């Protein structure tokens, strides 16, 4: 807890409870990251067996969300946290919700691995893989930022989403063009399109988690603010002034 510059409490048990629930979030995040990594690998290798395992493991993520949720409720009821402790609990509540939804998106992506694609359609899987690696990097980095409550790293992840959005838009245009040229391939290409959409949503949820980290560290809600306002919150009020 000291690493996060959190105040020490009269009750050492309170520190243990906060640290335990934070570690649970990191464990959940690790499982979600593995789900996404495996989903992308299953698509790349057409590994149907791995895809089926991914679908089965989603239950574990849901169970972890409920467990962490209950732990946070217990902390609020017993400890009545305030200031940074309350912000941490709020950040955890929101983070596990986004992680659970990332797990759902990874499950949807895994279902594409159960499909078979012809040679012409393989090019779209390559583009999907490129987008997937970008988003996977965002997820890994934001979980690392959460582990250290690192403000700068969280901000960097937040900025990465613009590149993921551009890749998603380019892939969408590519898929739409193919479907117009070869309507017979529409059903399978639509599955790739929905997977690309899932990856774009995962990027958005990584952005959300980055915002929760900024909220915890700075005590300011940076959702729906301008890029300039967020930069000033993270970098300081003098940023951008001449």
* Residue 161: inside a domain: yes
* Residue 242: inside a domain: no
SS (H, E, C) the chain: CHHHCCCCCCCHHHHHHHHHHHHHHHHHHHHHHHHHHHHHHHHHHCCHHHHHHHHHHHHHHHHHHHHHHHHHHHHHHHHCCCHHHHHHHHHHHHHHHHHHHHHHHHHHHHHHCCCCCCCCCHHHHHHHHHHHHHHHHHHHHHHHHHHHCCHHHHHHHHHHHHHHHHHHHHHHHHHHHHHHHCHHHHHHHHHHHHHHHHHHHHHHHHHHHHHHHHHHHHCCCCCCCCHHHHHHHHHCCCCCCC
Domain count, the chain: 1
CATH code, domain carrying 81:
1.20.58.220
Q: What is the pTM of this model?
A: 0.90
* Residue 241: inside a domain: no
Q: What is the pLDDT along the chain (242 residues), one digit of tens a residue?
A: 444 444 555 457 888 999 999 999 999 999 999 999 999 999 888 899 999 999 999 999 999 999 999 999 999 999 898 889 999 999 999 999 999 999 999 999 999 888 877 777 778 888 899 999 999 999 999 999 999 999 999 999 999 999 999 999 999 999 999 889 888 888 888 989 999 999 999 999 999 999 999 999 999 999 989 989 999 999 887 655 54
Print the domain residue range for 60.
Answer: 2-235
pLDDT of residue 3: 46
* Residue 116: inside a domain: yes
């Amino acid at each position: 807890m000291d690493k996060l510059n959190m105040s020490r409490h009269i009750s050492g048990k309170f520190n243990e409870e906060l640290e335990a629930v934070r570690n649970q979030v990191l464990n959940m995040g690790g499982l979600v990251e593995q789900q996404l990594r495996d989903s992308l690998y299953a698509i790349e290798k057409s590994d149907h067996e791995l895809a089926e395992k991914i679908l089965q493991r989603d239950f574990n993520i849901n169970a972890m969300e409920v467990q962490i949720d209950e732990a946070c409720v217990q902390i609020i009821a017993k400890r009545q946290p305030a200031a940074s402790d309350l912000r941490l609990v709020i950040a955890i509540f929101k983070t596990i919700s986004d992680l659970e939804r990332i797990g759902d998106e990874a499950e949807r992506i895994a279902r594409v691995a159960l499909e078979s694609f012809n040679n012409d359609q393989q090019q779209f899987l390559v583009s999907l893989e490129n987008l997937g690696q970008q988003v996977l990097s965002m997820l890994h980095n934001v979980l690392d930022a959460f582990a250290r409550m690192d403000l700068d790293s969280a901000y960097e992840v937040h900025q990465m989403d613009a590149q993921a959005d551009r890749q998603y838009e380019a892939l969408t245009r590519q898929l739409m063009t193919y479907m117009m040229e070869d309507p017979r391939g529409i059903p399978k290409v639509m599955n790739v399109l929905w997977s690309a959409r899932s990856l774009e949503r995962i990027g958005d949820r990584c952005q959300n988690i980055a915002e929760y980290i900024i909220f915890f560290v700075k005590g300011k809600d940076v959702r729906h603010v301008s890029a300039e306002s967020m930069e000033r919150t993270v970098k300081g009020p003098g940023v951008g002034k001449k």
